[in-house]
């Protein structure tokens, strides 16, 4: 395990559309302050936003942990919620369980998890239906 130089935790509330995206924005500001490369920040911002909105749309509550190591940024996002019954299916582009209300807000295109995968170097999903989901993803500085 790499040495963690910087860590911070953020709470995300389910169904809080008003503040949806705030955590991703705060993480982005921190990464900018740390002087990380633009591409790393861009990829993480996209992944964090998708992950955060997944919590807002589908879970009761989640906690995003930011960990900065000498050569990568690691994100662990654990939520308490309905979980994902079939992860393989959820990873397919276009697959979505979004309600019409969510779709009306511009979400639910079925691109969330695939988008996280596309913008990160490592992605691990564990989920217990009815209990919650944990996402772990990593973006390497020279990836």
Partner 1 sequence: MLEGHQSIFFDPGHCIGCVACTLGCPTKAVRVRGGRAHVKPELCIDCGACIHACRYNAAKARTSSPADLKKFKVAVAIPSLTMYAQFGRDVHPAQVLRALKSIGFDSVYDMSWMCEMVAGATDAHLSEGKGPWPKISVTCPAIVRFVQIRYPDLLANLIPVETARELSAKVLRRKLSAEHKCDPGEIGIFFITPCTAIMSSVVNPVGLEQSHLDGAFSIAELYGPLLKAIKQGGPAEGDEEVSPAGLLWAMSGGEIAGMRNTNTMTVRGVSDVQFVLDRIEAGKYSGVDFIEAYICPDGCVSGGLTVEGRYAAQRSIQAIAKRLGGQAHVKEEKVRSLLREHFFDIEEEIRARAIKPIAQDLREAIARNRERAALLKQLPRKNCAACGAPDCGTLADDVLRGEASLEDCVFVRIDRLEKEAISRKKEVP
Q: Is 33 in the site for partner 1 (CB under 8 A)?
A: yes
Give one DSSP letter per residue of 84-128, joined into a string: -S-HHHHTSTT-----HHHHHTT--SS-HHHHHHHH-SEEEEEEE
Beta carbon nearer to partner 1, 6 or 85: 6
Q: Is 34 in the site for partner 1 (CB under 8 A)?
A: yes
Binder to partner 1 among 1, 18, 35, 94 (CB under 8 A)? 35
Selected range binding partner 1 among 35-43, 59-67, 90-98, 121-129, rule: CB under 8 A: 35-43
Chain positions 37 to 56 lying near partner 1, rule: CB under 8 A, are: 38-39, 42, 45-46, 49
Cα separation, 22 vs 15, whole angstroms: 13
Q: Which two tokens stand for residue 99?
A: 């309600």
Task: State the residue for tokens 């130089």.
Answer: 5
User: What is the radius of gyration, based on Cα positions, of the chain?
Assistant: 14
Task: State the residue for tokens 């955590």.
Answer: 23
Minimum distance, C-beta of residue 35 to partner 1, in the bound complex (Å): 5
Minimum distance, C-beta of residue 85 to partner 1, in the bound complex (Å): 29
Q: Is 5 in the site for partner 1 (CB under 8 A)?
A: yes
Number of H helices, E strands in the chain: 5, 5
Query: Which residue ranges make up the site for partner 1 (CB under 8 A)?
Result: 5-6, 24-25, 28, 30, 33-36, 38-39, 42, 45-46, 49, 68, 70
């Amino acid at each position: 395990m790499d040495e963690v130089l910087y860590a911070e935790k953020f709470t995300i509330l389910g169904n809080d559309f008003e503040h949806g995206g705030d955590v991703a924005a705060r993480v982005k500001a921190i990464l900018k302050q740390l002087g990380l490369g633009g591409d790393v920040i861009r990829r993480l911002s996209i992944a964090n936003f998708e992950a955060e909105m997944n919590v807002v749309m589908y879970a009761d509550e989640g906690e995003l942990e930011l960990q900065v190591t000498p050569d990568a940024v690691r994100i662990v996002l654990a939520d308490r919620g309905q979980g994902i019954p079939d992860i393989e299916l959820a990873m397919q582009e276009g697959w979505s369980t979004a309600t019409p209300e969510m779709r009306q807000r511009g979400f639910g295109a079925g691109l969330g998890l695939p988008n996280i995968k596309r913008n990160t170097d490592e992605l691990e999903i564990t989920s217990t239906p009815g209990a919650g989901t944990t996402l772990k993803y990593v973006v390497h500085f020279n990836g």
